């Protein structure tokens, strides 16, 4: 089963390089996404067998994050079908500098999307730290071409930064792997493999100082990829310059993968009796990320960059939740799901806005309600959701984390958290609602909104709304189980 999960998108990716008709290639993309999602759904009914004596395994963590990834990927695949059709004409005008540019070949784009899914599945399911590293670096390499879909110099610059910064970051976490290995080999029990289960089983014999060093390297290395400040510098560029559906996947799925990497390291560090140390670091990086995001969201002119910084914020919230422990860990898991769905929907809507207005500057976008009414409704809903308005799921999860912080008596942290959330709320809403209201400055020639560019974000947002009102007991059970792994309680 796990093998199929990895191989189906991989094979489909290779096949899409060979298919010549665009229509069939798009169908293949959707079919592969649906197959993958179907298999993951099957994991909810019966547990999958571990692969290769447990190297890959669908534990509750993997099951939870795979589900998020797949919901997003299916939505993105449908969106992509419409998007690629609209982007088909050979040359487009660069709306910022009015040069002509072409797009990357569609076959390569589709292939990279599918390989991206395959490598993300590997990251999430792998139980071996070495394998996790290999898969994580692979996600960087297959997603860099996705960012450079529009062949103009800004997207190239973004792709280069992404490639170099993330590769170096991930190289740092390879050192983390070695440190972990040293800590395991030092105590005289012989060589412990880097399997998660082995490390946890032998956790009492791990050498403290090396585990500490390893965790620092993991949080810096994988944190680069997750977009934790101050290692987030690649993120706003990559998210704003890539096609919107890629931004949706980067933000909603890829950042979560890096989060899984940190979580696995957190689990081992906690098992070795260093939970306090690890938690403090998570709180630190979490708050710094939220603060950085607040700083850059205020006065941001570009609405896609605003969404990107909001991702930095929410990654910070995830880290903070893990750091606070207790009920906040559950909140953090819940938040991961809410954020992914909301942010992916928002990026897709941002793509619709971009297609209609041909600008990324928020000030030049006005009167969405009259020009693109469906997207305008979705945009307003999405902004309300992401800034933590009830009754959306994001509100529930942020509230859970905040409540846990107050309950555990950490008033300073709660106050800072709340203040930063308020600042971000003001920053985002000041920009975003103005875009929806008013009248377009000049009459726009807008094509009618396609079903494929409206329905995927609409369904994602509907999901966030439902999660805010009612969490299925099976989902909440899984989230609780996962939370217990990472030091959570009820």
112 binds other proteins (CB under 8 A): no
CA-based max dimension of the chain: 75
Q: Which is nearer to other proteins, 207 or 484 (CB)?
A: 207
Contact between 315 and 440 (Cβ < 8 Å): no
Per CB under 8 A, the list member of 128, 202, 304, 343 interacting with other proteins is: 128
Using the contact rule CB under 8 A, the part of the chain among 38-46, 141-149, 345-353, 397-405 near other proteins is 141-149
- Part in contact with other proteins (CB under 8 A); list of ranges 133-141, 386-394, 417-425, 475-483: 133-141
Among residues 70, 106, 241, 449, which is the contact residue for other proteins, using CB under 8 A?
241
Between 167 and 370, whose beta carbon lies closer to other proteins? Answer: 167
Closest distance of CB 129 from other proteins, Å: 9
Nearest to 180 by CA among 198, 199, 204: 199
Is 168 a binding residue for other proteins by CB under 8 A? The answer is yes
**Cα–Cα separations (whole angstroms), residue 337 to 69, 162, 315, 381, 394:** 9, 24, 12, 17, 9
CA distance 486 to 488: 6
Binding flag, residue 306, other proteins (CB under 8 A): no
Among 28, 74, 120, 158, binds other proteins (CB under 8 A): 158
Residue number, 85 or 154, with CB nearest to other proteins: 154
The CB-side HSE value for 12 (13 A sphere, CA atoms) comes to 27
- Among 35, 108, 207, 475, which residue sits at the site for other proteins (rule: CB under 8 A)? 207
Dig out the tokens for 357 from the structure. 């207005």
Closer CB to other proteins, 51 or 478, in the complex: 51
Using the minimum distance from each CB to other proteins, give the nearer residue, 194 or 385.
194
Query: In 3D, which of 290, 284, 341 has the Cα closest to residue 312?
Result: 290
Could you say which residues in the range 242-301 bind other proteins, by CB under 8 A? 296, 300
- Is the Cβ–Cβ distance between 418 and 399 less than 8 Å? no
Q: Residue 102 forms beta bridges with which residues?
A: 91
**How far is residue 402's CA from residue 410's CA, in Å, rounded to a whole number?**
10
Task: Indicate whether 198 belongs to the interface with other proteins (CB under 8 A).
Answer: no
CB 454 within 8 Å of CB 378: yes
Q: Which stretch binds other proteins (CB under 8 A): 58-66, 158-166, 332-340, 458-466?
A: 158-166
Q: Which C-beta is closer to other proteins: that of 143 or that of 453? A: 143
167 binds other proteins (CB under 8 A): yes
* Closest to other proteins by CB, 177 or 332: 177
- Return the axis-axis angle of helices 451-469 and 60-86, rounded to nearest 10°: 150
Considering beta carbons, is residue 162 or 369 the nearer one to other proteins? Answer: 162
Tell me how far apart the terminal alpha carbons of the chain are, to the nearest angstrom: 32
The binder of other proteins chosen from 47, 49, 187, 363 (CB under 8 A): 187
* Contact present, 244 and 350 (Cβ < 8 Å): yes
Could you give the CA distance from residue 274 to residue 280 in angstroms, rounded to a whole number?
A: 10
Q: Is 194 in the site for other proteins (CB under 8 A)?
A: yes
CB of 303 to other proteins, least distance (A): 14
- Using DSSP's 3-state secondary structure scheme, residue 91 falls into strand
**Which of 74-82, 179-187, 219-227, 411-419 is the region at the interface with other proteins (rule: CB under 8 A)?**
179-187
Please report, for residues 175, 218, 232, 251, 261, the alpha-carbon distance to residue 215 in angstroms, rounded to integers and kept in the order given. 10, 5, 18, 24, 11
Q: Which residues pair with 91 in a beta bridge?
A: 102
Nearer to other proteins, 173 or 397 (CB): 173
Please report, to the nearest 10 degrees, the dihedral formed by the alpha carbons of residues 66, 393, 457, 348 taken in order.
-80
The residue among 388, 402, 407, 373 whose CA lies nearest residue 342 is 388
Least CB distance from residue 186 to other proteins, whole Å? Answer: 3
In the list 59, 70, 137, 449, the residue contacting other proteins (rule: CB under 8 A) is: 137
Residue 93 sits in the site that holds other proteins (CB under 8 A): no
The yes or no reply on residue 134 touching other proteins (CB under 8 A) is yes
The residue behind tokens 């079908």 is 81
Binding segment for other proteins (CB under 8 A), chosen from 6-14, 123-131, 355-363, 402-410, is 123-131
> Residue with structure tokens 């992914």?
340
CB distance 366 to 434 below 8 Å: yes
Question: Does 369 interact with other proteins (rule: CB under 8 A)?
Answer: no
Q: What is the binding site for other proteins (CB under 8 A)? A: 128, 130-131, 133-134, 137-138, 140-141, 144-145, 148, 151-154, 156-161, 163-164, 167-168, 171, 174-175, 178, 181-182, 185-187, 191, 193-194, 207, 209, 236-237, 240-241, 296, 300, 305
């Amino acid at each position: 089963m796990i093998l199929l999960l990895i191989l189906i998108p991989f094979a489909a990716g290779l096949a899409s390089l060979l298919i010549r008709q665009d229509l069939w290639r798009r169908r293949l993309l959707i079919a592969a996404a649906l197959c993958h999602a179907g298999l993951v759904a099957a994991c909810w009914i019966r547990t999958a067998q571990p692969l290769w004596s447990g190297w890959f395994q669908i534990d509750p963590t993997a099951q939870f994050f795979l589900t998020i990834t797949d919901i997003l990927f299916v939505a993105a695949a449908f969106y992509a079908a419409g998007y690629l059709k609209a982007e088909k004409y050979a040359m487009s005008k660069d709306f910022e500098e009015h040069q002509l540019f072409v797009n990357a070949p569609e076959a390569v784009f589709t292939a990279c999307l599918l390989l991206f899914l395959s490598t993300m599945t590997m990251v999430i399911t792998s139980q071996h730290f070495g394998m996790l590293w290999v898969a994580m670096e692979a996600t960087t390499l297959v997603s860099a071409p996705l960012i450079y879909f529009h062949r103009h110099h800004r997207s190239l610059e973004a792709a280069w930064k992404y490639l170099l910064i993330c590769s170096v970051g991930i190289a740092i976490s390879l050192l983390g792997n070695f440190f972990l290995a040293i800590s395991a080999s030092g105590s005289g029990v012989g060589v412990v493999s880097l399997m998660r289960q082995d490390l946890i089983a032998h956790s009492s014999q791990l050498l403290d100082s090396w585990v500490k060093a390893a965790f620092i390297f993991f949080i810096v290395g994988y944190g680069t990829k997750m977009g934790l400040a101050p290692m987030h510098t690649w993120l706003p560029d990559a998210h704003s310059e890539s096609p919107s559906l890629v931004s949706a996947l980067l933000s909603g799925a890829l950042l979560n993968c890096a989060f899984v990497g940190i979580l696995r390291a957190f689990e081992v560090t906690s098992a070795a009796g260093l939970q306090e140390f690890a938690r403090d670091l998570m709180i630190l990086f979490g708050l710094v990320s939220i603060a950085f995001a607040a700083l850059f969201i205020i006065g941001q002119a570009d609405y896609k960059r605003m969404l990107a910084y909001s991702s930095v914020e929410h990654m910070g919230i995830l880290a903070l939740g893990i750091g606070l422990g207790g009920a906040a860990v559950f909140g953090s898991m819940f938040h991961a799901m809410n954020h992914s769905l909301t942010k992916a929907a928002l990026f897709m809507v941002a793509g619709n806005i971009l297609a209609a207005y041909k600008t990324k500057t928020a000030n030049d976008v006005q009167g969405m309600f009259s020009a693109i009414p469906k997207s305008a409704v979705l945009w307003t809903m999405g902004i309300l959701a992401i800034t933590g308005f009830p009754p959306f799921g994001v509100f529930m999860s942020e509230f859970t984390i905040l409540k846990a912080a107050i309950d555990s008596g950490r008033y300073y942290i709660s106050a800072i958290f709340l203040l930063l959330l308020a600042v971000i709320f003001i920053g985002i809403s000041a920009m975003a609602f103005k875009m929806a209201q008013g009248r377009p400055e000049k009459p726009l020639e807008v094509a009618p909104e396609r079903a494929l560019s409206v329905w995927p974000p609409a369904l994602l947002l509907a999901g966030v709304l439902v999660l805010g009102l009612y969490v299925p007991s099976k989902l909440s059970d899984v989230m609780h189980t996962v939370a217990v792994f990472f030091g959570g309680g009820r």
